[in-house]
């Protein structure tokens, strides 16, 4: 489901590229098609993976590929000065909803996503970017840095807390399921013993009567 949603969103946002950044439309189209092709390969591999650990690794790669594609677009558009970083927010929160990644996988994904965004954007900022004029007011670039990093970091923290909470729920459900299976096994064993005793009793009275 996450892979199909990735394909759908990468397709839909082609329209946004045409409106928001027509000068890079062909470049972004190439990037999107490349990511979509990689996701298609992952869908083919998914049918061959038999273990949950393998599926988990593939899910992590899917999220990292999606994030990497968006990170490249962000760098091209000016780093901290573009609102395309919202795409990373979609990935951060979407993975919590669609894929029950283990907490350690979630942390690896979030840290990687944060650095994918921050390092190239910081390089852009250090090289030199002019202040942006909004409604006649000049806004210095460092304010965008603080704003974007604050929002992205906050969403990552919330997502990490949510992932930890969801993992604890899954662990409780697993323990409950194991306890239920153990209790069911014990009841089945007791039932078989009672059935055997009943058969012995029936045979005993039959022999006595005979």
Q: pLDDT tens across 58-110, in order? A: 888 999 999 999 999 999 988 888 888 888 888 888 777 777 778 888 899 89
Confidence (pLDDT) at 134: 66
What is the reported pTM? 0.75
**Cα separation of 125 and 147, whole Å?**
14
Alpha helices (runs of H) in the chain, residue ranges in sequence order: 2-20, 25-46, 52-77, 86-98, 103-127, 141-209
Instruction: Find the mean pLDDT for residues 134-140.
Output: 75
Q: Read off the pLDDT of residues 100-136 as tens digits, 9 standing for 90 and up.
A: 778 888 899 899 999 999 998 888 888 877 777 666 7
* Residue the block writes with tokens 């951060």: 92
Kindly give the pairing relationship between strand 132-134 and strand 137-139: antiparallel
Residue 107 to residue 102: CA distance in whole angstroms? 9
78 sits in the region (left: phi over 0; alpha: psi -120 to 50; else beta) called left
Q: Which residue has the higher pLDDT, 191 or 81?
A: 81
């Amino acid at each position: 489901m996450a892979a199909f949603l990735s394909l759908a969103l990468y397709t839909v946002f082609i329209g946004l590229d045409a409106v928001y950044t027509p000068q890079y439309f062909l470049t972004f189209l190439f990037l999107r098609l490349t990511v979509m092709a990689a996701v298609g390969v992952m869908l083919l591999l998914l049918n061959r993976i038999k273990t949950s650990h393998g599926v988990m690794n593939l899910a992590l790669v899917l999220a990292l590929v999606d994030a990497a594609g968006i990170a490249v677009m962000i760098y091209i558009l000016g780093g901290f000065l573009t609102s395309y970083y919202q795409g990373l927010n979609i990935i951060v929160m979407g993975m919590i909803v669609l894929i029950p990644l283990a907490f350690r996988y979630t942390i690896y994904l979030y840290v990687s996503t944060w650095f994918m965004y921050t390092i190239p954007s910081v390089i852009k900022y250090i090289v030199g970017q002019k202040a942006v004029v909004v409604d006649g007011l000049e806004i210095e670039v460092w304010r965008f840095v603080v704003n974007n990093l604050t929002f992205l970091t906050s969403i990552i923290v919330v997502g990490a807390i949510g992932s930890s909470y969801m993992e604890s729920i899954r662990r409780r459900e697993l323990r409950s399921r194991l306890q239920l299976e153990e209790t069911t096994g014990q009841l089945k064993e007791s039932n078989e013993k009672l059935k055997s005793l009943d058969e012995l009793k029936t045979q005993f009275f039959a022999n006595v009567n005979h």
